[in-house]
Every structure is written in structure tokens, then in C-alpha cells.
Amino acid sequence: MSLLYDRPRIDERRTEAEFIPCYPIPILYEQSTLEIAFGARRNLLEIWPATSYRAGIDSFRILRRQIVLVNSPEHVRYVVVTRHDNFERKSPQMRRALEALLGDGLFISDGETWKKRRPLVADIVHKRRLPEFGQTMEDAALAVAAEWAQLPAGAEIELTEEMGRLTAAIISRAVFGNNIAREAAQQVIDGFSAYQRHTDSFNLGYFLGADEGWPAFGGRRRRRAIAMVHGVVENVINAHLAGKGDAGSMVDLLIRRNQKSGGEPLDVAALRNEAATIFMAGHETTATTLSWAWYLLANAAWVRQSVHDEIATVCGDRAPTLADLPQLRWCRAVIQETLRLYPPVPLLPRQAREADRIGHIDVEKSALVMIAPWLLHRSPDLWNKPNHFLPERFLSGARIDPFAYIPFAVGPRICPGMNFGLDEATLCLAILSQRFEVLPREGYKVEPVCRLTLRPKGGLPARVVARGPRHGI
């Protein structure tokens, strides 16, 4: 099988500076079911053998459940496009893990609920509306830059929290038309972090034969985490309904689009579920992407210099704006390569509604069909130097198969906020990179871990260093 991407020629002076970022070493032996279960509860990235990274399709069993691993573009296309109706449904463990937090929100809904709400949500986050939110993104990033400029020399920040507050401020203003208080943003960050820690990502009941899995009851700490997130979301929704929101906010548009469509009015619960889904998707995924991008840039001097030179050429001393993004190609490529190496949602499991056949594999009814961006993006059959950080691969002009690069999923269920998230991450990276270098704590072991989303284990402590007087605030 030929590579979908042929690496462009790179200045030979830089070849010794190539960077292979952290990743779990693939398993080299056959694991028992018990090892898989415990491994999945600890980190969903650690359970994959080296053979799973190869392009192709495979089938195996965990207890009573057939697992079909789909790891080639043509078979991904079959699952998510050709036979979308049969493989639309998210896996029971994903639905059970998230339903307490997101209810019947778009990310985990299916059937008629998904069909009715998808056009509404897709419309309000469509790329043509991005210019309306550009100033919000710029203001939030500049506010973080101003805070960083006031830090004492040598002070350390926790990057995932910093980026979480930044993206929470942006998505709150865009979704609800309200500026979210720092304390409220921190409450969402802490709540979702706690929710991930206390949510079981391996639903034993499903693998024992319960096609809908077992309910995820959780405990007191998980319920408290849900209450923390819901409390913030409901407060801003209620404020909006009380007339304190922005008439052009996403929630306002969601209500008006639903009214125009002639559909049943969205009650507060449905509104909260969709708002929470947009909020969590827009906040969590972009925050983790930016955190990983800083880690990658800190370890790739040639990329960092290219980013700085590009910003200086395009923007001079003024702050980058949304209008500059078409010219900030290196900044965009850094985000795209970050999403390849560390896709925020690295596993996209589906449940077969009916028996099917994918390639040469007979798929049983209710089988778990696993599409894993984490594996697909690191397949040596599909990518040259798949574990290297090489943003140049997105600058080469080479066409990358859209079913081999799927950080936002693909097909009818592709993330409707894809363009919003890409532009937000690129712009925030450009604004902050113009003024600062971000240096992870020396000697700190960075480790990717996934339970629901892909994060640096234990966070990412770092220092921010101003780049010089001409880049001051």
C-alpha cells in the first residue's frame, strides 16, 4: 500500500532536529481480557498492539462481543458514509459514559433526535458565521497575553488550565453571549476533569452481552462533577432566557432556527444538552489541542522559528486577526499536525444496528466497530514518519485522503464546529506565539492519556517567556 503522504524535502540542516513526541509504546504480546479491561480503564491508548497500527481491518472478540477494528481509508468510508445508517450509533460505552453529562446532545444522540437537531446546530456554527466571532477570539487571546505579561519572572503556569480558561471564555461568549467569570470557567474545567477521572471507559456489561451496556451509575465524586458543569451551563442559559444574553449568540440562533423549522420547541433540558455539548466540544477539544501544540513547538526549534518569522512577515508588530489566517500557513499547519498526533477524541466507536460485511469481515449485529484516529493517524502504511512532528506535511500541497485524517470525524457526523475550532486554535496560537515562548518544565515527563478525551497526564506545567520589547503588550 502506498503512502497517502510523501514527505516534502526538508532543509538537510534541520534533519537532525526532527522531533518524535511522546506516545505509548505499542503492546508486543497478546493481552488477556483482564489486561485489556484494566488497561482501558487506565488509558485507552495503551491497549493497542503494534499490529493494530497497520492499515487494514481486523476482527476479534472480548468476552461475548465482536470487535471490528477498521483502520484503512476505504473501510472507514464504508462505515461512516456508504453504510452510515447502520453504523451511525455511538458505542454503548461512549453513550453510557457521556449521557449523564450531555443528555441527548448531538454528540451522542442518533436517529430522529440527531436528524432534527443536526441541521440546527450545523447552521449556527457554520464557517460563514466565523467573522462574527473573530473579535471574541482575538479579545480572549489578548486578555490571556496581558495576564502572561504580568507574571513574575520564572513563574509557572499549568497549560491545560490556562488554555481551558481561554477557550471557555471564547465559547461562552459565542454560545451564550455572556462573558464567563474566571471562577465559572475554572469550575467547568475542574468539573470535566473530575468527570473523566471518575467515569468508567470500559463498560463490562456490553462485553458480557448487554447490547445497551450497563448504566454508568458513578459515585458521589462523579455526581459532584456533573453538578459543577451543569451549574455553570444552566446559569448562563437562564441568564440568556432572562434577556441578559446576546441576540446573536449561538443559543439565541438555536432557538430561532428551531422556531423557523416548525419543530417542537426545545425545552430547557434539550437546550441545556445542546448548549453543554457545544460548550464542552468547543472548550475541551480546542484547549487540549493548544496544550499539545505548545509542547510540540517547545521541542521543534525549526518550526517555532518558522512560525515567528511568518507572523512577523504577515502582521509586523500588530496582533494577528482572523483576517490574517489565510496567510498564517505555518500556524495552521502546526495545529493540523497537532491534531494528527494528538486527536482530541482518539477513538470513534460505533455499534452495528444490523449484521453487515466490511471488506472480508462478517460483522455481527450489535458488534463494536472501532475507528480510531489515534491508530489511523500513526499508521506506517499511510504516513511517512508517522510518529514525527512534521507540520511541513500540511504545507507540501500533497492531497491527504480525508478518510485517513479524521481529527473531527468524517461523513455525516463530522464535527459541525470543525472550522470554528481550527480557526480558534490557529488564531490563539498566533496571537500568543507572537509575544511569548512557552517552555514545559524541564525534565517533566509528558504522557498522553485518554479516558474520554486525549490530555497530557497530570497536566502540563510550563513557563512563559516574553519574546522581547517589540512584542510587548
> What pLDDT does 473 receive?
44
CA 224 to CA 227: how far, in whole Å? 5
> What pLDDT does 14 receive?
47
pLDDT band for 250, please (50, 70, 90 cuts): confident
Name, of 6-10, 280-284, 457-461, the range with top average pLDDT: 457-461
Cβ atoms of residues 276 and 102 within 8 Å: yes
Cβ atoms of residues 71 and 56 within 8 Å: yes
pLDDT in tens, 182-224: 788 778 878 888 887 777 767 778 888 888 888 776 688 888 9
Cβ atoms of residues 190 and 165 within 8 Å: no
CA 354 to CA 408: how far, in whole Å? 26
> What pLDDT does 12 receive?
38
pLDDT band for 1, please (50, 70, 90 cuts): very low
> What pLDDT does 439 receive?
95
Q: According to the 3-state scheme, what is the secondary structure of 244-291?
A: HCCCCCHHHHHHHHHHHHCCCCCCHHHHHHHHHHHHHHHHHHHHHHHH
> What pLDDT does 465 receive?
95
> What pLDDT does 11 receive?
42
What is the average pLDDT value for the chain, to the nearest integer? 86
| Angle separating helix axes 268-298 and 329-341, nearest 10 degrees | 100
Smallest CA-to-CA distance from 332 within 349, 346, 311, 350 is with 311
Q: What SS3 class is residue 2? A: coil
Chain centre to alpha carbon of residue 237? 24
pLDDT in tens, 280-310: 777 889 999 999 999 999 999 999 999 999 9
Of 93-107, 154-168, 174-188, 403-417, the poorest mean pLDDT is in 174-188
Name, of 197-201, 221-225, 264-268, 317-321, the range with top average pLDDT: 317-321
> What pLDDT does 178 receive?
64
pLDDT in tens, 327-339: 999 999 999 999 9
Q: Which residues contact 395 (CB under 8 A, 6 or more apart)?
A: 8, 329, 330, 333
179 phi and psi angles, rounded to 5 deg: -75, 125
Checking if the pLDDT of 391 tops 90, the result is yes
pLDDT band for 18, please (50, 70, 90 cuts): confident
* Residue for grid cell 458565521: 129
Checking if the pLDDT of 16 tops 90, the result is no
Cβ atoms of residues 21 and 299 within 8 Å: yes
Higher-scoring residue by pLDDT: 460, 14: 460
Strands 65-71, 454-456: pairing is unpaired
- Over residues 238-245, the mean pLDDT reads 73
Q: Write down the number of H helices and E strands in the chain.
A: 15, 11
CA 366 to CA 134: how far, in whole Å? 43
Is residue 60 left, alpha or beta, with left meaning phi > 0 and alpha meaning psi from -120 to 50? Answer: beta
CA 349 to CA 358: how far, in whole Å? 15
pLDDT band for 179, please (50, 70, 90 cuts): low
226 phi and psi angles, rounded to 5 deg: -60, -45
Name, of 138-147, 208-217, 260-269, 282-291, the range with top average pLDDT: 138-147
| Cell numbers given for 439 | 517552555
CA 25 to CA 46: how far, in whole Å? 8
Chain centre to alpha carbon of residue 267? 28
Checking if the pLDDT of 386 tops 50, the result is yes
Checking if the pLDDT of 388 tops 90, the result is yes
Checking if the pLDDT of 9 tops 60, the result is no
Higher-scoring residue by pLDDT: 137, 42: 137
Checking if the pLDDT of 36 tops 90, the result is no
